[in-house]
Structure formats: structure tokens, C-alpha cells
Amino acid sequence: MIKSAWEKLQEKFPEIIRNKKIYNDIVRNILLSPNNILLYCAYGFPIDLIIDIILIEKFKKNNFYRSAHIWDKSIYYYENQDFIEIDLMNPDNIKNIDKLTKFLLHIVNTKNISLGKHLIILKHIDLLYKNYYEFRILLERFSNNITFISTTHHISKIETPIRSRYSLFRIPLFTFAEINDIYINYLDMSVNEYLASNETRDIVKCIFITDNESLPNKDLITNSFINYNYPPFVDFIKTFNAKNIDDIRNLSYKCCQYNINISKIIHDFIKLVDEEGEYLLKIKYPKITKKNHKLYKNNLKKEIISIGENIDYMLSQTNKCKEPIYIEQLLCLLLI
């Protein structure tokens, strides 16, 4: 049976980390730390595979069987004789995140442990932002009973009292040279040409594209598909009519459906200025001449960032469920 690129990466990842000093040192330091561990990195690094390596080294086992469980019909988690794993990104867990502290109390009071303390892996800890106070009390109260290994892609969203109760470890993204080396010497594959031309540092996207290049719909893998968070933006601005506000409303709903948040939209629009600037400039500044395009491109980028910053701040001050309204407002300001 032919292994996928992701399966090959999983198999070779311990060897890859051992052979790259900076990452091997991070793993060694984590294993030496007696404290709670908080791993943080940008999107694009397979942080779950680092956790697997830490568990392999900590318990001296090559494989871990995880059994799926549901607590109180609300918290979904995986259990092993050595640890418990909770992914807060699970949609069911997000809905019931206010019950997490009760679940953790349940673990302390009822679960057996093989070591001196419970080990709980808590992924995407930043989603606890509405329950930080309760979680901080729990960290203090059960510091002798539980060790946490937590992860996040948004370290700035975690308040200082929570961070102070962890040892923090930043995991840098692989450089493109390292990704290319992994592909050639460990996976026996080559990086997609579009990703290579941009010297990407996102190995997760590289693996995803590689696994999809062999599928029947591989012709859909274009430059815009790879380099934009939401590729339909490219065609949308080419045919956009400012008189039809319903198009923006429909686009905002689609962005929410595909989890395209404000920062991703801003990232794409800045890229659109560079790659499809002619169309955006016609929308925003219909009367300028081509010789002034370069000047207006720089001004437009500044304006896009400023608009995104303001809308993102307003959204942060209200309920997350109102995100579609703020995304629609953002798109209106960007396009009208």
C-alpha cells in the first residue's frame, strides 16, 4: 500500500527532529522541565507530531493507543493509561467549553494515574479565554496533581497570569531549505512548484498539497488555490459590481463557513494588491492613471491594514457569534 505524504512525515518525524539541533534541544528541555508546558508556534508547523515525540521520549513507548470518550455528553477527549488528551478546537468542545473545569475536577477525583501526577494534553488553550479565571484557580489548586502540556497558535491571546504558570517553548517554523531537505532526504518527494517559488515555510500546507496532487482534481491546484486563504477572492474582485451589495453579504457568509477570519482576509487582500492590483485599484480609485498605480498600491496596503485592525478590534469587544456582521462590514469598507 502506497503511503501518503502525511503518513511518511509521521513516520520520519522523530528522526527529522533528532537530526535538527534546534528542535531536538527544545524536546530535551521540555523533558527536563518539571512545570506545565505551553508550546506555541505559527500555523504551518505540525505541533501535534512534536507532542507525540515528547510522549515517546517521556514514557519510552513507540506507539500509544488512544480510546475516544465523552464526558457528560459534552466534553470529547482521548484517554490513554499514561495521559488524557483534549482538543478544544473540537466543535462539540467549543460549545461546552464552560464545562471544562468541571471535567478536569472529575479527572482528578476519579481517574487512576501511572505516575505521580496526571498528564493532560490541552490543545488550543487560547479558546479558554472566557474561562481564564476559573482555569487559573484550577492550575493553582491542583499544581501537585496535574501536569499540563498545552498548545496554541495565538500566544498573545493568553493572559499573563496563565502564561506565568507554564514554561513557554516557542517552536519556529521550518525554513524552506529545511522543508526542501525533508522532502528530498526523508520523504523522497518534491515540493509543489508554486510553494517552492514562494519559498514557503508552511510544511503542513506542503504535505496537504502533495497528497492532493495525485487526486483526479489536481488541475484545481493553481497558484491562487495555494497562495490565498480564500482563492475565490481573485475571481470575485475581477467581476465585482459595487451596486450589488448582496454579493458582499453572500461572500461574508462563505468566509465564515470556511473559517476565513479577519486576519486571513486582510492577508489575502494585501496579496491581491500585489498580484491583482489592477482590479482592486479600479474598484477603490477608478479615476487614477496607470503611472500612479505603484504609489496608490502602497497607500491601499496601508488602508487595508488600518481597516482590518479597526474591525478586528471591534469584533474582539463583542460576541464571537457576530463575526459574519463584522466580516461583511470589513468587505464593504475594502471594496466600496
Residue 143: all three cell numbers together: 499544581
Q: Give the best-scoring range by mean pLDDT among 13-17, 132-136, 144-148, 236-240.
A: 13-17
- For residue 276, pLDDT beyond 90: no
pLDDT of residue 112: 62
List 95's β-bridge partners, or say none.
none
pLDDT recorded at residue 90: 87
Q: Give the closest residue to 286 by CA, choosing from 240, 220, 248, 249.
A: 240
| Cα dist from 114 to 109, 142, 199, 271, whole Å | 15, 17, 45, 51
In the predicted structure, residue 286 carries a pLDDT above the cut 90: no
Task: Give the orientation angle of helix 293-316 with respect to helix 277-284, to 10 degrees.
Answer: 80
**What local confidence, expressed as pLDDT, does residue 180 receive?**
96
Q: 47-59 vs 21-32: helix axis angle to the nearest 10?
A: 50
Please, are residues 67 and 80 in contact by the beta-carbon 8 Å criterion?
yes
Q: For the segment 174-191, what is each residue's pLDDT rounded down to a tens digit? A: 999 999 999 999 999 999
Query: How confident is the model over 194-213, as pLDDT tens digits?
Result: 899 889 999 999 999 998 88
- In whole angstroms, what is the distance from residue 320 CA to residue 105 CA? 27
- Grid-cell match 491542583, residue found: 142
Lowest mean pLDDT among 146-150, 151-155, 321-325: 321-325
Task: Find the DSSP H helices in 228-322.
Answer: 232-239, 245-257, 262-275, 277-284, 293-316
- Cα-based angle 61, 65, 66 (whole degrees, multiple of 5): 130
Give the residue carrying C-alpha cell 502533495.
Answer: 210
